[in-house]
Structure 1
């Protein structure tokens, strides 16, 4: 991996942590997530319309992906209403690959290497320590199941997107339509849960933060995909997990999240475990 690609992946990791921080700092987490979704939906539709129309077999995967992505953001928005960035993000980000690895081994018959099993063990320990910290420090206990729900949805769309893009034969087409369908599905859910005020009475600051989060999210995804064409996918995937450390640091140094040894240890174990499962 060249130095330029290395730095680019670190930038992508930072952008992923950044868009989560922007949502967390918004007045309404749900409003910020909805604005992010609408902006990405418009961009996705514009890109999708430049590609051939998807076949009938692709739409099944697209609909499933849209549902998973919408549920993921719903869980994540609720989790950020209950807990700190430095607590929610590592749990949500760290649990997903553990689920994907387990499902891949059981359902897709993928071969799991000893290093990956060791990584899952370390990862699980880090998540357990991080979750325990929420209870030990008197934080809202609801953040844990919500963060885990977000992770389950992440695992779901990771599997669906990977298989769906293969069926489509065009990742750009698949992702474009996925973003568009995500906006179509997520918007009415937000309106039903929070009313029209969630977007129509949102402040200029909410639109700014949501739009910036959308740009950061899209940038993180685009850089990561490009990097995987320039360097081994496993190395890129492992390096991306530094986003957890970025999120913990942003939460601690910028947002004023409480930091203690247990949280720092848990974040370190989660990063180590995720790197081990990807190498």
Structure 2
């Protein structure tokens, strides 16, 4: 991983933390994810005319990624409903790099060397520590932990699928644009089905925050996709999760103030 790629992934981590902080200002998680996913569709459509069309080999990955992202959003919302964010989020994000390491070895034939493996292990150990710190003084909520682990598996799955897809696409910009278009409509469609006539009034108060979160989300993941065309998947996944600590601490601080 070159310094340029590492800097891009760290910038993605900061941007990821920022959009998560904005998302957690919206107490209704379905409303928040609807705005962010729907905003991603708008941004993707705006990018399409300026980006190369992904190669045919990338489209099966785009389709698979859309399905996995839907599962990820639903599992993440379930994790938030079942347990404290400070516990669920580090577990979900900390699980992913280890699973990515295994999947990347199987499907991309990328086996990290000693230093990279040590870095991945250190990152995951740190995230596990954050999760354990959140559990101190309380009984574990096993339902929430199970949902968080399932969320982590979905993160690992879309990370590898998108890593292989963006490499096959021939254009990281084209891939992120079409990924937003292909997968971004699923949560708004689900929200329309679940909420029906109640959705639009619920969206209006948070529209600006949600759309800003969408722009940051697209930027963060676009940087990660670009990095995946230039370095191995597992180290990128581990470095990206440096966003977890500020996300978790920021939300816990907000929860304490609200309490």
* Separation of aligned partners in 2, 1:2 and 1:163: 20
Unpaired stretches in structure 2, ≥5 consecutive residues = none
User: What corresponds to 1:72 in structure 2?
Assistant: 72
User: Is residue 84–residue 251 contact of structure 1 (8 Å, CA) maintained in 2?
Assistant: no
User: What corresponds to 2:211 in structure 1?
Assistant: 211
* Separation of aligned partners in 1, 2:165 and 2:144: 31
Of stretches 3-12 and 27-36 in structure 1, the one that deviates more from structure 2 is 3-12
Q: Report how far residue 131 of structure 1 moved.
A: 6.0
User: What corresponds to 2:195 in structure 1?
Assistant: 195
User: Is residue 21–residue 85 contact of structure 1 (8 Å, CA) maintained in 2?
Assistant: no
Please list the CA deviations of residues 224-246 of structure 1 after superposition, one character each: whole Å capped at 9, or x if unmatched. 56789999999876654331221
Q: Report how far residue 91 of structure 1 moved.
A: 1.3
User: Is residue 162–residue 225 contact of structure 2 (8 Å, CA) maintained in 1?
Assistant: no
Q: Report how far residue 68 of structure 1 moved.
A: 1.4
Q: Report how far residue 130 of structure 1 moved.
A: 2.4
Please list the CA deviations of residues 87-120 of structure 1 after superposition, one character each: whole Å capped at 9, or x if unmatched. 2221121111111101222344332333455456
TM-score (normalised: structure 2):
0.79
Unpaired stretches in structure 1, ≥5 consecutive residues = 258-279
- Give the direction of change, closer, same or farther, for the CA distance of 1:10–1:132 in structure 2 (3 Å limit): closer
* Separation of aligned partners in 1, 2:8 and 2:168: 29
User: What corresponds to 2:179 in structure 1?
Assistant: 178
* Separation of aligned partners in 2, 1:11 and 1:116: 20
User: What corresponds to 2:50 in structure 1?
Assistant: 50
Of stretches 148-157 and 219-228 in structure 1, the one that deviates more from structure 2 is 219-228
Q: How many residues of Structure 1 are paired with residues of Structure 2 in the alignment?
A: 256
| SS of equivalent to 1:112 | coil
Larger helix percent: 2
Of stretches 19-28 and 47-56 in structure 1, the one that deviates more from structure 2 is 47-56
User: What corresponds to 2:148 in structure 1?
Assistant: 147
Matches for 1:247-258 after TM superposition, within 5 Å: 247-256=247-256
- Residue 41 (1) aligns with residue 41 (2): yes
Of stretches 238-247 and 171-180 in structure 1, the one that deviates more from structure 2 is 238-247
User: What corresponds to 1:23 in structure 2?
Assistant: 23
